[in-house]
Amino acid sequence: MNRIVERFQRLTTQGKKGLVIYIGAGDPNLEATRQLALGFDQAGVDVLELGVPFSDPLADGLVNQLAAQRGLESGTTPPKVLETVAAIRRESQMPIVFYVYFNILHKRGVKEFIADCARAGVDGLLVLDLPPEESDNYERLMAEAGLCNIYLIAPTTPEDRMELIAKRAQGFIYYVSREGVTGMQAKVSDTIGSMTAKIRAHTQLPIAVGFGISNPEQAKLVAQSAEAIVVGSAVVNQIAKHGKSPELAAKVSTFVKSLGDAVKSV
Amino acid sequence: MSNAVDLKLPDARGHFGPYGGRYVPETLMHPLQELEEEYRRAQHDPEFRREFDYYLKEFCGRPTPLYFAERLTRELGGAKIYLKREDLLHTGAHKINNAMGQILLAKRMGKTRIIAETGAGQHGVATATVAAMFGFKCVIYMGAVDCERQKLNVFRMKMLGADVVPVKAGQQTLKEAVNEAMRDWVTNVRSTHYILGTAYGAHPYPEMVRNFQRVIGDEARAQIQEKEHRLPDQLIACVGGGSNAIGLFYAFLNDPTVKLIGVEAGGLGIRPEQHAARFQGGSLGVLQGTRSYILQDDYGQIQLTHSVSAGLDYAAVGPEHAWLKDAGRAEYTYATDAEALEAFNALARLEGIIPALESSHAIAECMKRAPKLDRKSILIVNLSGRGDKDVAQVADKLQLQMPV
């Protein structure tokens, strides 16, 4: 069974909420990425969302843009990110999703990229700029490879579109809690509860809510309306702060554990 | 030789064969559908058409002349050369045609805020102009490098009341300005219309921008028939995103005797990171909402580009051009920085017209072709913009001194 599906089933059985953590691969280098991933697994992270650095990340706010830039500067390429996933897999069964822009798949070949991911131990793909309308044979190839295609739903998504997306998504639905790019916010959106309720009318899939969650209090609040929460920029910001310090993985994992504890207490 | 092409393209999903489409984050999917629906209603609304035509004539200064360049023709000793004088439009380039169309659409949609990207600053100035005219808030994103090399246009936009945001990411030119405009749009999509300036981006932009620009070719076709009682042999236009070129070409797509020639920026020569000629060094990819030819490395990272002209200095080309190239209907070549500068000087001295550096690329190609053609041949070159904005940069390159 796909690790994402398995993990959410387990969380449901235990009556617990999930924690999804985003980081940019290769920030500040791929060895750090590997150590961070292993630290996150110990800290109780349920899904690692790994950003494959792209030169033109137009859905990302400044914090994640800079992470992608650091990733590219450290020589991170898609094949090297895949090698890093394979290395993580030798020690951890934590589900891993790639957060990736479509041109990276397109250049490699969609079929080939998916096969590479399956081989390395990636469990799902979230392709930022590939809506269902343009997905062509992507969904079939993903299903054949046993990977979950994670689709986004946004506050601007009307109900009939929610239905279309929910039918075609796998693993979990990623609800983008506000209009905008990735990034930390002082206050979480107050429409999250009503929107997740609308999405639930169309699907049994777990819903993960992200974009803008930056501390344990917000994590706890949002987790009440969802099966999981996603924290990205706040973690990336910690990585930027600690940089190449030998304590990097330990320090960031401590922060991540505080998020996990908040979520699990809901 | 040339094949007939389907004027009904793009299809319902915005595809020109394998090109085009709508590759955007989910937050923009529904707003783009709404934009498309409103655009369809406007297209079939005679009142919208009437309003658009009224402002094109009374405010922008259409129709523009199709001018016989007599001295340039004599100097080159071959084909008769006509210039489509888009440089004479209000704000100084063809960009105002599209900005006018889109602001009228934004008004219909009840938006209150306008954003745009700009490279050379001509689209930014056109957008700031129509925003001022109709009382919209306006923010223009422009690469920091472009702000410096097209300073005059930055001041013009500010005088028109727009906020100009210099974008400091990446190579700080047009591509980064588009990224930043899209980030703004994702964040403010309910209040804001994004006036994209070229025949690029997610559906319906490439089609909509082409249709707002097709007036160039519609006029040129009627004008040449009146003057010469026949169609031209070749059309030449520069291609950045490709809006002035598609605007000129569209009316002639099903005239198989008319050759269509697009001219990309050859920069310092066709070597990685030294040019912006997507059909020379590019490959199929997906960038900023659409599928087309782009300059990229083996892993799909977008490559750096170079051109003396900020308006052509861009890593991707409009999807309809990719389609016209595949269909064998248009051909694409390039002019280098040096050739464009030479053409800039030639047009100034022979015709008393200072062209934009972008349009100078089309003039450069015309200077290569005209001498090889007989005197009965007719060339139309799209003079897409005037060169005031480039005066400081060219003076610097030519090391012109102020008289003391």
List pLDDT tens digits, range B346-369.
Answer: 999 999 999 999 999 999 999 999
Only one residue has tokens 């590019």, namely: B282
Sequence-separated (6 or more) residues with CB below 8 Å from residue A154: A175, A176, A179, B25, B26, B27, B29, B30
Asked if the model's pLDDT at residue B1 lies above 50, the reply is: no
What digits encode the pLDDT tens for the residues A181-203? 888 788 888 889 999 999 999 99
Q: Which residue of A has its CA nearest to B15?
A: A134
Q: What is the three-class DSSP state of B276? A: strand
Alpha-carbon distance B54 to nearest alpha carbon in chain A (angstroms): 35
Distance from CA of A265 to the nearest CA of B (A): 31
Interface contact A55-B170, CB threshold 8 A = yes
pLDDT in tens, B14-36: 999 999 999 999 999 999 999 99
* C-alpha to C-alpha distance for A263 and B103, rounded to whole angstroms: 46
Is A56 in Cβ contact with B302 (below 8 Å)? Answer: yes
Q: Rounded CA gap, A149 and A142, in Å?
A: 7
Task: Please name the helix (run of DSSP H) or strand (run of DSSP E) that holds residue A176, with its range, or none.
Answer: strand A173-176
Whether omega before B63 lies within 30 degrees of 0, making that bond cis, reads yes
Tell me, yes or no, if A200 comes closer than 8 A to chain B by beta carbon.
no
Selected residue of A80, A134, A135 to mutate for chain B interface (largest B Cβ count, 10 A) = A134
**DSSP string of B213-239, one letter each residue:** HTHHHHHHHHHHHHHHSS--SEEEEE-
pLDDT of residue B133: 97
**Hey, what amino acid is at A58?**
L
Q: Do A106 and B175 touch (CB under 8 A)?
A: no
Say yes or no: A58 contacts chain B, CB-CB below 8 A. yes
Q: Model ipTM?
A: 0.96
Picking from B245, B146, B138, the residue whose alpha carbon sits closest to that of residue B200 is B245
Task: Name the phi and psi angles at A189, rounded to 5.
Answer: -65, 145
Q: Is the pLDDT of residue B54 over 70?
A: yes
Residue A174 has pLDDT above 70, yes or no: yes
3-state secondary structure of B117: strand
Residue whose entry in the numeric block shows the structure tokens 């997306």: A165
Kind and range of the H or E run holding B21: strand B19-23
User: What token pair was written down for B80?
Assistant: 């008769």
Which residue among B30, B190, B291 places its CB closest to the CB of A157?
B30
Identify the bridge partners of residue B113 per DSSP, sorted by sequence position. Answer: B137, B192
Share of chain B above pLDDT 90, in %: 95
Q: Is B137 helix (H, G, I), strand (E, B) or coil?
A: strand
pLDDT of residue B403: 82
Condensed to tens digits (0 to 9), the pLDDT of residues B157-213 reads 999 999 999 999 888 999 999 999 999 999 999 999 999 999 999 999 999 999 999
Alpha carbons A153 and A230: distance in angstroms, whole number: 14
Distance from C-alpha of B295 to C-alpha of B280, rounded to nearest angstrom: 9
Question: Contact at 8 Å (CB) between B311 and B122?
Answer: yes
* Nearest C-alpha neighbor of B134 from the set B108, B165, B152: B108
Q: Please tell me if residue B183 touches chain A, with a CB cutoff of 8 Å.
A: yes
Nearest CA-CA partner of A128 in A71, A51, A67, A61: A51
- Name every chain B residue with its beta carbon within 8 A of the beta carbon of A61: 183
Instruction: Compute the mean pLDDT over every residue in chain B, rounded to the nearest whole number.
Output: 96
- Pick from B22, B27, B296: which is nearest to A134 by CB? B22
Q: Of all helices (H) and strands (E), which one includes residue B118? A: strand B113-118
- Burial class from Cβ neighbours inside 10 Å (0-12, 13-18, 19+) for residue A139 reads middle
Residues of chain A contacting residue B15, judged by C-beta atoms under 8 Å apart: none
Please answer yes or no on whether B284 and A106 come within 8 Å at the CB atom. Answer: yes
| Residue B203 distance to chain A (closest CA, Å) | 12
Q: Does B12 touch chain A (CB under 8 A)?
A: no
Q: Do A134 and B21 touch (CB under 8 A)?
A: yes
Q: What is the mean pLDDT of residues B287-313?
A: 96
CA pair distance B237, B198, nearest whole angstrom: 14
Instruction: Quote the pLDDT of residue B6.
Output: 78
Nearest-angstrom CA–CA distance, B112 and B119: 24
Q: Does the annotation count B117 as an active-site position?
A: yes
Residue B8: predicted pLDDT: 83
Closest Cα partner for B254 from B217, B226, B293? B217
Instruction: Report whether pLDDT(A254) > 90.
Output: yes
Residues of A whose CB is below 8 A from B300: 54, 78, 103-108
How many helices and strands (H and E) does chain A possess? 12, 9
Interchain proximity A161–B186, CB inside 8 Å: no
Euclidean distance between the first and final Cα of chain A, in Å? 27
Residue B31: asked if its preceding bond is cis (omega within 30°), the reply is no
Per-residue pLDDT tens digits for B75-104: 999 999 999 999 999 999 999 999 999 999
Cα(B366)–Cα(B378) distance, integer angstroms: 11
In sign, the C-alpha dihedral spanning B178, B181, B183, B186 is negative
pLDDT at B7: 78
> Which CATH architecture is the domain A3-260 placed in?
Alpha-Beta Barrel (3.20)
Question: pTM of whole model > 0.80?
Answer: yes
What's residue B4's pLDDT?
Answer: 63
Exposed (0-12), middle (13-18) or buried (19+): which is A150, by Cβ within 10 Å?
buried
The pairing of beta strand B283-287 with beta strand B15-16: unpaired
Cβ distance of B288 and A128 shorter than 8 Å: no
Mean pLDDT of all residues belonging to chain A: 96
Distances in whole angstroms, Cα of residue B87 to Cα of each of A92, B194, B239, B385: 63, 24, 16, 4
Residue A158: CB atoms within 10 A of its CB come to 12
Label residues B2-21 b or e (16+ Cβ within 10 Å = b): beebeeebbeeebbbbebbb
Q: Which of B120, B159, B164 is nearest to B138 (CA)?
A: B164
A213 has a chain B CB within 8 A of its CB: no
Look up tokens 């706040």; give the residue: A234
Note whether A181 contacts B183, CB cutoff 8 Å.
Answer: yes
Write down the pLDDT at residue B2.
Answer: 46
- What is the rounded distance in angstroms from the CA atom of residue A70 to the CA atom of residue B178? 21
Query: A125 to chain B, minimum CA–CA distance in Å?
Result: 14
Q: Is the pLDDT of residue B3 over 60?
A: no
> Which residue, among B158, B10, B87, B83, has the nearest Cα to B378 in the 3D structure?
B83
Contact A186, A213 (CB under 8 A): no
| Cβ contact A157–B29 (<8 Å) | yes
Q: Which of B166-170, B216-220, B376-380 has the lowest mean pLDDT?
A: B166-170
Mean pLDDT of A221-238: 96
Asked whether the beta carbons of B278 and B19 are under 8 A apart, the reply is no
> Band of the pLDDT at A60, cuts 50, 70, 90?
very high
Q: How far is CA B123 from CA A72, B61, B115, B244, B385, in A?
A: 32, 17, 11, 12, 11
